[in-house]
Amino acid sequence: MKRYFLFSANLLLIIIVVISLQAQKIQSLPKRQLSYSRLTSGLNVPNFEKGRSDFVMDDINNDGHVDILSIGDHGSPLFNTDQHGIMIWFNDGQGNFNLHMNGHFGYGGLAVGDVNNDGFKDFGMGMHHNYSPTNFGNQLIEVALGDGTGLQWTPWDQGLATNGETYGMFGTDLGDVNNDGLLDLVSISFGAGAGFHVYLNQGDGSWIPSFGILGNNSDMIIQFADLNNDGNLDFIAAHATGTAYFGDGNGNFVKNDTGLPYYGASVSRKGISVGDINNDGSFGLAFINNNGGVEVYEFNDVTNSWVSYSGNLPASGSFQLTQLYDMNADGYTDVMAFGDRTFMLWFGDGNGNWTIGATFQTPQTPGYAQAFRAGGDLNKNGFGDLVFLVREGSWMVYTNKMYVYAENSVPDELWIRSLYPKGNEKFFPGSTRFIQWASAVPGGLPSTVKIELSATGANGPWVTIAEDIPNNGKYQWITPESGSENYYLKLTVTSDNQSASMITAAPFTVFGAAIILGDANCDGIVNMLDAITIVNYITGNDPQPFCFENADIDGNGIVNLFDFISAIELIRHFQKRFKYLIYK
C-alpha cells in the first residue's frame, strides 16, 4: 500500500539540497586514468574462425548482470568451429560467464530490444549464413522474441529481407523511427551488393520496408541515433553511397554528408560509431580516416553541415574500429579506437579537446579488429567495459580470438548517473527510447533502480515510471504524451538498505501540447493521483500543484464531479495504452 506524505517547505528544501549535492558529486568524478584487466572465466568457448563479427552487451535475462551476445564470425554455424546460432555468455556478476548457444545460423550483427512490448527482451539480426532448416535462422534479416530467460526464441519476422537483399546482411539496429512506441529495424549489407534497409514494425510479427538502397560497398556497421536533435531517429551507415541519413518520423530518410571528408565514390567510411560529443542533445559520429587516424564530427543544425570535433586526436595510425561512450561517467562522451593490437581511450570535455584515459595491447599479432563494443558494465563498478574480436596469427593460418576487459576500479560508495537522456534531447510523445545509466555498487551486491520523471523542472513533482528494476544500465521507455520543455529524470539506486539518487543536469523536451486532459497534478501522466487531485479540489483541499485546464476535462470552466468521472475513464485508457510506461 502506498502512502503520500505532505512535507514542510523546509524539509523539502533540505531534500533538494541533498540531491543537488549528490548530483554535483557525481558530476565532478575525476578524469583519472582507467585501467583494464582481461576476464577469462567461461569466455574461452566457443572457438572462432575468421572474418568480421559483432557483439552486444545487454542484460538479456533481466537478472541485473550485463551479458554478452553474438551470432559469430565466418565459422558459424559449425564451420571449423563449434559456434552456432545466437550465442549468449551469461554473466553471474562475479567475473564468471556461462555460454549458451541456440540455432543453426550465424556470421553477422545483432541488436537487442523489446519489439512487442511484452516486457521481455528480443533481438534482431542480419546474417550471411541463414542456413537453418527451421524458421529460426532461415532469413538474411530476422527478429526473434525472447521469453525472459535468454534460452528460448520465437521467430517474429514476416516481411523482413524482402526488399532486394539476396546475398547477406550484417550490422543491425533497433529503434523507433516513426514514434509509434514500437521498435523498428535497420540492417546493412555483408560487403557489397545488398545496401541497407529500414523496416517498420507492425506490432503483429510483420514488418514492412520503408526505405532502402541496393549496391555499392559496405563496412558492415549501421546504427540509429538522432543526429540533428529534431526528435526523429536518423541513422549512420558505413556505406559508400553515404554515411548520415536523416529521418522524417515516417520511415523516410535523406542523406546529408555535407562537411564530412570525401573518400571516393566506392569507399565506405570505416569503423563508425555514434555518441553525443558536445552535450547538445544530438548524436555525433566517430570513424577511422583513410590514414588510420580517428576523427569525430557533430552536426550543426544552423549550417546544416557536419563540424569537426577531432581536435588533438591522432590524424593517422593503424586503427580500424571506434566506439563512443562515456567510459568514466563524468557527463562527457569519450572516444575509443582499436586496431593492430592497440586500444586507446581519450576522455572528452564536450569541446573537442581529448585527453588520453587508457591504453593497452592485446597479446598476439597482428591483432586486427574484427569486432569492438564498449559500454556495458560487467562488474558493477560504474565504468564501461570492452569486448573485442581480434584476428591473430600469420596470414596463412590466422584465426579470431575473443577478448573481454573489465575496468579495474573498486567502488567505495554507491552512486548512479544518467547517461541518456542527460539533457537537451528532444522526443516525440509516445515514442520508444532507451534510458541508460552508470552505477557503482560496492561489493557488487544486488541492487535495484527507480526512475522518476518530472515535467515541471528539477524540483518535481515526480512520477514513477519504473521501480525495483534490475540495475543493468538500460531501460526501454515510452515517452509521455504531454509536452514540456522542462522534463527531468531522477534515478535512484538501492543496495544493502542504502540509496543514492541523482537528477539529470539539464532539461529535455517532449513535443506536444503542454496541456493534457486529465493530468490534474501536472506530472505528465494520467493516473489515479489525478483523480485524487480532482477530488481534493472539489472538496476544497487546495491541492498543489494543480493544473485547472487539465482537470476541466469537459471544458465548461468548472471542475466538478463530471470531470472526476471523465478522469476515471481517461485513466483506464492511459493504463491500457501505456501500461509498460506506468506500471512496468
> What pLDDT was estimated at residue 32?
83
Contact 316, 299 (CB under 8 A): no
Which residues contact residue 480 at a Cβ distance below 8 angstroms, ignoring those fewer than 6 apart?
429, 453, 455, 487, 510, 524, 525, 581
User: Three-state SS for 267?
Assistant: coil
Ordered per-residue pLDDT tens for the chain, 584 residues? 233 223 333 433 333 333 344 444 444 445 689 999 999 999 999 999 999 999 999 999 999 999 999 999 999 999 999 999 999 999 999 999 999 999 999 999 999 999 999 999 999 999 999 999 999 999 999 999 999 999 999 999 999 999 999 999 999 999 999 999 999 999 999 999 899 999 999 999 999 999 999 999 999 999 999 999 999 999 999 999 999 999 999 999 999 999 999 988 889 999 999 999 999 999 999 999 999 999 999 999 999 999 999 999 999 999 999 999 999 999 999 999 999 999 999 999 999 999 999 999 999 999 999 999 999 999 999 999 999 999 999 988 999 999 999 999 999 999 999 999 999 999 999 999 999 999 999 999 999 999 999 999 999 999 999 999 999 999 999 999 889 999 999 999 999 999 999 999 999 999 986 567 788 888 777 889 989 999 999 998 888 788 887 888 877 778 899 889 888 887 876 554 443 333 22
> What pLDDT was estimated at residue 256?
98
Provide the grid cell at 190.
Answer: 555483408
561-577 and 528-538 helices, crossing angle to 10°: 170
DSSP per-residue string spanning 62-81: -SSS-EEEE--STTTTTSSS
> What pLDDT was estimated at residue 2?
30
pTM of the model: 0.86
Provide the grid cell at 236.
Answer: 549512420
DSSP state of 439: E
Buried b (16+ CB within 10 A) or exposed e, 243-277: bbbbbebebebeebbebbeeeeeeebbbbbbbbbb
> What pLDDT was estimated at residue 10?
40
> What pLDDT was estimated at residue 573?
64
> What pLDDT was estimated at residue 554?
78
Provide the grid cell at 108.
Answer: 553477422
CA distances from 476 to 148, 166, 176, 581 (A): 14, 32, 11, 9
